[in-house]
Amino acid sequence: MAYYMYISIQEEDRIAIFSMTSKTGKLKHQGDAELKGRPAPMAIDPDRKYLFAGRRKADDYGMTSFSIDRKNGGLTPIGSIPLQGDPVHISTDKTGKFLLSAYYYQKTAAVHSIGEDG
């Protein structure tokens, strides 16, 4: 069984996708998902169907959702929403129905509902 790891590479506007074998722990670069806007904080829903990535570029604060291909770990963009500022932490709740985001500079937090399709 393969496990997948996602690493946001802000300065290159991409999310690197790695697979890891459960027997050896060896990592293999599977590819990248492009995401303009300096992707940074990420969260995966409890069912591991969707990945959410915060965008931290000053003129493009937002959140983008991706579907996760369970066969190869690939990411397919679903949609984006604008945010009130630069997200530093994001997380889903236990049910996967809500995405929580926190902002240092804006000194606030927000809750976003997650649709059935991510």
- CATH at 47: 2.130.10.10
| Phi-psi map region of 48: left, alpha, beta (phi>0 left; psi -120 to 50 alpha) | left
Question: Looking at residue 91, what is its pLDDT?
Answer: 97
Residue 59 in any domain: the answer is: yes
Question: Looking at residue 66, what is its pLDDT?
Answer: 98
User: What does pLDDT average to over the chain?
Assistant: 94
Residue 118 in any domain: the answer is: no
Residue 100 in any domain: the answer is: yes
| pTM > 0.85 | yes
Residue 93 in any domain: the answer is: yes
With a cut of 90, say whether residue 46 has pLDDT above it: yes
With a cut of 80, say whether residue 1 has pLDDT above it: no
Question: Looking at residue 118, what is its pLDDT?
Answer: 85
Residue 87 in any domain: the answer is: yes
Could you list the residue range(s) of the whole structural domain that residue 47 is in? 2-113
Residue 79 in any domain: the answer is: yes
Question: Looking at residue 84, what is its pLDDT?
Answer: 83
* Buried residues in 96-113 as b, exposed as e (16+ CB within 10 A): beebebbbeeeeeebebe
